[in-house]
Amino acid sequence: MRTVREAKDEFLDYLGSVRDMSPHTVISYRNDLAQFEAMDGIGAQTDIAAITPETLRRCIGVLSRQRRAPASINRFIAAVRGLFSYCKKCGYLAVNPALELRTVKNPQRLPRFMTGAEVDKLCAAPAGNELLWEARDRALFEMLYSSGCRLSEMASLTVADIDVDYGSAVVTGKGNKDRRVYFEADARAALAAYLADRRKRFGSADTETALFVNQRGKKMTTRGIAYVVARYSGVEGTNRHVSPHAFRHTFATALLTGGADVRLVQELLGHSSISTTQRYTHVTTDRLIELYNKAHPHGGAKGT
């Protein structure tokens, strides 16, 4: 017999030690499974083998009545499915009751991106409005836009990861998959200026290996990078708040609008599925329709 709590704790250890999932992913599983354990009809000391499909469906019903977002419910379902799949493989269950769980429909949201003028304005904001550290912040924005890196990937970069000409780097993405990302001329110039300024600030006392550091010379966290973006895109800066992920969306949209093959963009973004990359084609299609309607004589645009 395995209680729900015993099975949950064992499964989480398995995810971290055997599957080598990231700490962030394990924390997400832990939070969802702690909620599962606390639900009516479950309980920490319940035999995991005694839980039925009907019990699991009632759990999903509870979340729906609480008006949880579809993405949140589907993440919970994925965690529960993972737990019961693990228990079945270990022989704790004769039948996996989670096989009957179905995800809920998740409305497709188009990625939020910036126009070319908006991203140029944000990248120039550190020079025109020194809120924090001009050289670092300009390099950070240019590199996010140039590479399409995820926030976590940018925060994890070290100085040693950057090629000698500052033209590219290898990042470790989701699933511990490595890929090469590239930095164009503006990003390379901004990075060189930042590293020179960093050496001037900290000199021989700079022993931090992380590429981006705070003003005390310590590694910037994902939260720290998000704070920098928020300051410059808030009321003190461009007054159009965006998240760090908007740079990634803008990178993908710009490439596809410029005619890049979707499979190339998939590789540059590190998407395991091309369907994820294809979300950006909806953005470019909408933009093309908008431009068509404005430019075509019968498109509805008012002439003079």
The burial of 85, by beta-carbon neighbours within 10 Å (0-12 exposed, 13-18 middle, 19 or more buried), is given as middle
Judge whether 248 counts as a catalytic residue. yes
Which element (helix H / strand E) includes 182? strand 178-182
Q: What is the DSSP string of 169-181?
A: EEEE-GGG-EEEE
- Type of residue at 71: A
Residue 32 CA to residue 51 CA, distance in Å, equals: 17
| Residue in 58, 174, 219, 279 annotated catalytic | 174
DSSP one-letter code for 47: B
Judge whether 245 counts as a catalytic residue. yes
| Residue in 150, 188, 198, 249 annotated catalytic | 150
| Residue in 121, 245, 279, 287 annotated catalytic | 245
**Closest C-alpha among 102, 109, 104, 143 to residue 229:** 143
| Residue in 86, 166, 194, 280 annotated catalytic | 280
Judge whether 150 counts as a catalytic residue. yes
| Residue in 8, 188, 198, 271 annotated catalytic | 271
3-state DSSP helix/strand/coil % of the chain, to nearest 5: 60, 5, 35
| Residue in 136, 138, 248, 249 annotated catalytic | 248
Please give the positions annotated as active site.
150, 174, 245, 248, 271, 280
